[in-house]
Amino acid sequence: MEEQMEALMRPTANELALAPELGVLAALDATLATTAHQLIAETPDLYSLELAARGEIPAPLTRKANSLIFRVGELRVEIREYRALAVDYDPPL
């Protein structure tokens, strides 16, 4: 089973004019997505149904990779939420 990843964040020129930090966040988003894909590729036991069927606990490295992938997903969601707020932000006068 393959983990479903969101598309990379690509801020528009208008969004970058409003919130230049979105450029760095887009680079971070791409790095995080690449990291998650690499962890999935390098950890074959990550989604092993055989281990689960036998009731075996995954190896510590597999558990840590799973934890990192989960946190990567959370951080990518936070980046998208920040983007939405930054683009619509109207600073007080």
What pLDDT score does 55 carry? 85
Query: In 10 A of CB 76, how many CB atoms?
Result: 20
Question: For the range 11-18, what are the long-range contacts, defined as Cβ-Cβ under 8 Å and sequence gap of 24 or more?
Answer: 11/83, 15/83, 15/86, 15/87, 18/86, 18/87, 18/89
Percentage of the chain modeled with pLDDT above 70:
95
Q: What is the mean pLDDT of the chain?
A: 89
Q: Which of 23, 17, 25, 18 is nearest to 81 (CA)?
A: 25
Query: In 10 A of CB 13, how many CB atoms?
Result: 7
Confidence check: pLDDT of 82 > 80: yes
Confidence check: pLDDT of 2 > 60: no
What pLDDT score does 93 carry? 74
Over residues 4-21, mean pLDDT: 89
* pLDDT tens figures, 41-60: 999 888 887 887 888 888 89
